[in-house]
Amino acid sequence: MIPAGDERTPDGRAHAVRGPSREQLLDVAIDEGDAALVVAVQGELDALTAPRLTVALNDAFARLAGRILVLDLTHVGFLGSAGLLVLLDSARSAAGMPGHQAMRVVVGRNRPVVLPIEIVGPRSRPGHLRECERRHHRVSHGHGRCSTRSTRKW
């Protein structure tokens, strides 16, 4: 099990946790629970890898069946504008679905993810400013474990 929190080494160059292979750059895992469907992303979200997240999220939306969609970006080491576009498009898709519930994005204190979201979040989605406030949300994991993490709604 991957430990939660800040896994960067003190020199800020590498991740102590095992990440996706260099060729792959990004791993996406879907964890299905009764109340939530958790899409856990590990690696780097740029123009090369963002389309793969789009495919995974489209698949998750199709299987949602009234559950909450949680996108876990706690172990993402880079998030650029291409990745942000996927988040915003997916949030729009979630909003357009019948019986919609806002997609939850889990970011923890992961600065490479928090930094770009803080920059564009309020400007891109002014109506969701309040929804973007951090709050604690219990995320259920497959092995009966629960962890408390900071999440934001889009």
CB of 45 or CB of 69, closer to another protein: 45
DSSP, residue by residue, the chain: -PPPS--B-TTSSSBSS----TTT-EEEEEEE-SSEEEEEEEEEESTTTHHHHHHHHHHHHHT-TTPEEEEEEEEEEEE-HHHHHHHHHHHHHHHTSTT--PPEEE-TT-HHHHHHHHHHHHHH-GGGTGGGS-EEEEEE-TTS-EEEEEEEE-
78 contacts another protein (rule: CB under 8 A): yes
Tell me the closest approach of the beta carbon of residue 11 to another protein, in angstroms: 5
Interacting stretch for another protein, rule CB under 8 A, among 48-56, 62-70, 136-144, 145-153? Answer: 48-56
Task: Write out the binding residues for another protein, residues 110-129 only, by CB under 8 A.
Answer: 111-112, 115-116, 119-120, 123-124
Residue 58 in the binding site for another protein (CB under 8 A): no
> Is residue 93 near another protein by the rule CB under 8 A?
no
| Opening angle at CA 51, ends 103 and 93, nearest 5 | 30
Q: Who contacts 115 (Cβ-Cβ below 8 Å, separation ≥6)? A: 79
Residue in 51, 134, 135, 147 binding another protein, rule: CB under 8 A? 51
Closest to another protein by CB, 52 vs 153, is 52
Nearer to another protein, 5 or 146 (CB): 5
Chain residues that interact with another protein, rule: CB under 8 A:
8, 11-13, 25, 44, 46-48, 50-51, 78, 80-82, 84-85, 111-112, 115-116, 119-120, 123-124
